[in-house]
A = this chain, B = another copy of it.
Amino acid sequence: MLLVMDQKATQEQIDRVIATVKEHGLTPRPIPGGQRVSIGILNNKGPVDGSLFLGLPGVKDAIPVTRPYKLVSREVHPEDTLIPIGDITVGSGTLTMIAGPCAIESEEQALTIARHVKQAGADLFRGGAFKPRTSPYSFQGLGKQGLEILAHVREETGLSVVTEVLDYENFDLVEKYADVIQIGTRNMQNFTLLRRAGLSVKPILLKRGMAATIDEWLMAAEYILSEGNDKVILCERGVRTFVNHSRNTLDLSAVPVVKNESHLPIIVDPSHAAGRRDQVIPLSRAAVAVEAHGLMVEVHHAPEKALSDGGQSLYPEQFEGLCRQARSIYNNLHAVTE
């Protein structure tokens, strides 16, 4: 944190700021400049709340300098984290393809789609049993029955399954069935849920909040790691902007930034960012090209009959084509890089 003083700040005001920094157990370091004094705050052990100083007389600005996260930081943990799930590993050196319907609608639907995506080359099956819906009157998912279908899909196909948990209440239940537990964009700062996830032995797929900065996202992951679970997969899924030709704006620069700041793997969900099938395939390829560790894509064998998100779900043959393209870009990139 750097506190910038007004040009006309008095020595008395400067002294008061210095004293206040010390009162909070922090180390102030005054930096006289050409036109004004700044005061660095050193040796802080966690995030410093700038608002503690912003209101003091003579303080013009409080500028964060260092990042607030620790356990998720690459500075603290330089090696890439690799997360084994069944036979596969998510993280550096592989491209993980996760595919399936938005919601589990029936055993037949789930199995049909799972067989399609497995054949096309998916590594994991996704499908929602508990669905977060903007409207209380929309289909909310099959709940426990959906989880049982997922278990059956795993048995039949051998694919590990990813499914979302919406709340603390159902965490034990979801944990029992899922191979990877997803925390959705609306719950990225549901701190009770994050702490519970931190006590799980299962890997957590943590989606970025719709309007979250990378700092906030990594701090959400820090909640999970701070409770002991370091198997966190981050998932970029688009942020809310003024842009109105896609549902959200996929922020692909997040991938290199997160890979630089953190050791955790990061995948991309282009389906929810786009909200329209015709944007999903190009954005998927783009996510591979920025070297995301994986993709999560919605696939449905009959999208026009889907109970949710039909318009953004790929047809099985589209997903097959996408897998070919994605793996080709991935392999090519690695061949070229080396």
Contact = CB atoms under 8 A, between A and B. Distances in A.
A65 B2 contact: yes
Copy number in this complex? Answer: 4
B50 A42 contact: no
A277 B40 CA distance: 22
B222 A55 contact: no
A332 B330 CA distance: 11
B290 A285 contact: yes
A38 interface: yes
Contact of A244 (B213, B223, B290, B329): B213
Contacts of A189: 132, 134, 186
Given A40-B33, A75-B7, A253-B245, A222 B191 contact: no
B47 A138 contact: yes
Size bracket of the A interface: 35 or more
Interface stretch (A107-115, A174-182, A309-317): A309-317
Given A52-B306, A211-B240, A240-B240, 7 more contacts: A4-B65, A213-B243, A245-B253, A245-B257, A253-B282, A283-B290, A325-B337
Interface of A: 2, 4, 6-8, 20, 23, 27, 29, 31, 33-36, 38, 40, 42-47, 49-56, 61-63, 65-66, 68, 75, 132-138, 166-169, 186-187, 189-193, 195, 210-211, 213-216, 219, 222-223, 226, 239-246, 249-257, 260, 273-279, 282-283, 285-291, 303-306, 308-313, 324-325, 328-329, 332-333, 336-337
